[in-house]
């Protein structure tokens, strides 16, 4: 078969429409229709508790509707569904989470309570070392996400029992954790910048993740980080540079050596 030409990182980011896991909450089940309109033909009815995947959400006649792609294709009411991030993590061990920390304004008491849930003193110190409130929030949320993800994917009840250490490249890993046979290589990675904290986890494949906030980058000072082919693609565009930088960060973080790996030794096109 003819192979699709690889797309640039920016085009992938711009066109990607990630499916969202949802679960039916309506006691009488969920009606799925052929079209987004409420009067379109009924194609199926899903029972309460059924997990679904949706890839689009929009308004129709003042009602919020979502387009399902699994277990059946069609449109349904958004109010009859809730996010199934916990169920999805437990079922698959494959996780992709995004948290907008700018929407969270904790009190001092709430922040201190959550910080105390992290058992490792060096990890707590790494949070409080930051002077700015937003930096502290990003650092705390990233550490809590790792532990929540591990508790769901590995069926660990107590957060205090989850011990997190880091490689020389600062990739987090679990110490002394018992892993199910189908998740023996479970690994998790986080990144935070700007308003977002992101997490990725995989039961078998090595994974790394990076988020790059918009900013003006002094490209001339980073000549050694990209290959000639990559610089030709960037062509002075900061957005393209940030996309490639995030790819390289995610790649080296998956390896576990972080910035210790020469970025120009890996090329993304």
Q: What's the mean pLDDT in 180-203? A: 95
Q: How far apart are CA 234 and CA 18, in angstroms?
A: 25
Identify which of 73, 76, 66 has the alpha carbon closest to the alpha carbon of residue 30: 76
In tens, the pLDDT along 94-140 reads 999 999 999 999 999 999 999 999 999 999 999 999 999 999 999 99
Q: Give residue 199's pLDDT.
A: 96
Q: What pLDDT, on the 0 to 100 scale, is given for residue 169? A: 79
Distances (CA, A) of 58 to 15, 36, 81: 17, 8, 14
Average pLDDT value for residue range 222-241: 92
SS3 assignment, position 47 = coil
Per-residue confidence (pLDDT) for residue 66, from 0 to 100: 95
Q: Which residue has 């960060």 as its token pair?
A: 249
At 172-188, the pLDDT tens digits run 999 878 899 999 999 99
The secondary structure of 108-135 as a DSSP string is HHHHHHHHTT---HHHHHHHHT--SHHH
Q: Taking 70 as the threshold, does the pLDDT of residue 4 lie above it?
A: no
* CA atoms of 252 and 189, how far apart (whole Å): 11
pLDDT value of residue 218: 85
pLDDT at 87 over 90: no
Res. 262: pLDDT tops 70: yes
Give residue-wise pLDDT tens across range 10-34: 332 233 346 788 999 999 999 999 9
How confident is the model at residue 158, as a pLDDT? 73
Query: What pLDDT, on a 0 to 100 scale, did the predictor assign at position 10?
Result: 33
> pTM of the entire structure?
0.77
pLDDT exceeds cutoff 80 at 6: no
Kindly state the percentage of the chain with pLDDT values over 70. Answer: 93
Confidence (pLDDT) at 8: 36
Give the mean pLDDT of the chain. 88
Rounded mean pLDDT, 222-227: 90
Q: Look at residue 258 in the predicted model and tell me its pLDDT.
A: 72
Give the pLDDT score at 15: 32
pLDDT of residue 217: 82
- Residue with the bigger pLDDT between 162 and 75: it is 75
Q: Among 94, 104, 100, 93, which Cα is nearest to 192's? A: 100
247, 261 contact by CB (below 8 A): no
Whether residue 206 has pLDDT greater than 60: yes
Q: Please give the pLDDT value at position 18.
A: 62
Q: Are 25 and 81 in contact (CB under 8 A)?
A: yes
d(CA 192, CA 73): 34
């Amino acid at each position: 078969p003819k192979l699709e030409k690889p797309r640039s990182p920016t085009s992938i980011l711009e066109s990607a429409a990630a499916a969202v896991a949802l679960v039916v909450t309506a006691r009488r089940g969920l009606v799925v229709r052929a079209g987004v309109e409420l009067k379109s033909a009924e194609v199926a009815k899903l029972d309460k508790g059924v997990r679904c995947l949706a890839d689009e959400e929009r308004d129709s006649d003042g009602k919020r509707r979502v387009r399902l792609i699994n277990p059946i294709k069609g449109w349904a009411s958004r109010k009859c569904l809730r996010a199934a991030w916990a169920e999805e993590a437990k079922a698959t061990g494959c996780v992709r989470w995004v948290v907008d920390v700018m929407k969270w304004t904790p009190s001092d008491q709430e922040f201190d309570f959550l910080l105390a849930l992290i058992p490792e003193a060096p990890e707590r110190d790494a949070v409080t070392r930051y002077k700015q409130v937003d930096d502290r929030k990003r650092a705390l949320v990233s550490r809590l996400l790792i532990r929540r993800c591990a508790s769901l994917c590995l069926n660990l009840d107590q957060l205090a029992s989850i011990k997190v250490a880091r490689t020389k490249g600062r990739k987090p890993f679990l110490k002394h954790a018992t892993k199910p046979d189908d998740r023996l290589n479970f690994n998790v990675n986080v990144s935070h910048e700007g308003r977002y904290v992101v997490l990725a986890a995989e039961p078998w494949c090595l994974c790394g993740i990076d988020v790059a906030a918009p900013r003006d980058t002094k490209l001339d000072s980073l000549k050694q980080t990209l290959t000639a082919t990559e610089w030709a693609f960037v062509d002075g565009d900061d957005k393209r540079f940030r996309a490639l930088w995030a790819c390289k960060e995610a790649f080296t973080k998956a390896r576990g050596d972080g910035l210790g790996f020469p970025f120009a030794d890996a090329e993304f096109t």
